[in-house]
Amino acid sequence: MSGLRVLAVDDVPPALDELTRMLSAAPEVAEVTAVGDPLGAVRSLQAGRFDAAFLDIAMPGLDGLELASLLSKLATPPVIVFVTAYDRHAVTAFGLGAVDYVLKPIRAERLAAALTKVNRMVQALRAETSGVLPAAPAPPVDSLPALAVDGGGRTRYVRRDDVQFVEARGDYVRLHTLGGTHEVRMPMARLEQYWEPSGFVRVHRGFLVALHAVRELRSDSVGGVLAHTGAGDVPVSRRHARELRERLLRAAQRGELGR
């Protein structure tokens, strides 16, 4: 088979140069395109197809995790490997379908192991495309199944399935779970985009609620509607109340409430 066409993305020039040099020296790699920013990466992917993308995470504007989520929606997405100095994003990265997570500074043997995984995945995809193997639908990409929460010198991971509802707090969102609350720096609209396919519904300008967490709908003291969850009551605006009732009915019919 022909060698791999690889896209390398990092906003730090010395790091990008080193990654490009190491990838170019690998026998599996035929061509490396180096890009210094996420938007440049998108333009490169629009101009041509790549077998794999090696992405930094901490980049301005659009970070590597968000870029990977965009790439997963392409008709023929590249195989993703994250190359980063931080280990706290690993759960989220693998949730986005990455085949590997390489920590900086990059060691040659570690990069070789990542390329072996990439090569194996690319060969399997090419075999499916050529009809050598029966084609199977690709599993859906699970966007952000967990979020990293920093605090007190520690990083913990909050699973999406443990979140009962989400509250907007300026540039942050507050995740309400049965065990407490956790704040993450992320716009509400962006989290809604990631989690809506997993049953999180906008019920108010400042709140998302997990359908599975709603135990009942209640009336408040002024005639409004509250969605009652194990982590507290969530206000439901009038414009969202009807849609929420319909979504809850469909979820109940599928046996998805209170799971």
What is the domain count for the chain? Answer: 2
* Predicted TM-score (pTM) of this structure: 0.53
Q: Is residue 136 part of a domain?
A: no
Of 80, 104, 130, the domain-final residue: 130
| Same domain (yes/no): 151, 104 | no
pLDDT (tens digit, 9 = 90+) per residue, 119-169?
A: 888 887 776 666 554 444 444 445 578 887 877 777 788 899 999 999 999
Is 152 among the domain residues?
Answer: yes
Q: pLDDT tens digit string along 7-34?
A: 999 999 999 999 999 999 999 999 999 9
Render pLDDT for 230-248 as a digit per residue (tens, 0 to 9). 999 999 999 899 899 988 8
Percent of the chain exceeding pLDDT 90 equals: 43
Write out the residue range of the structural domain in which residue 248 sits.
146-253
Maximum CA extent, the chain: 70
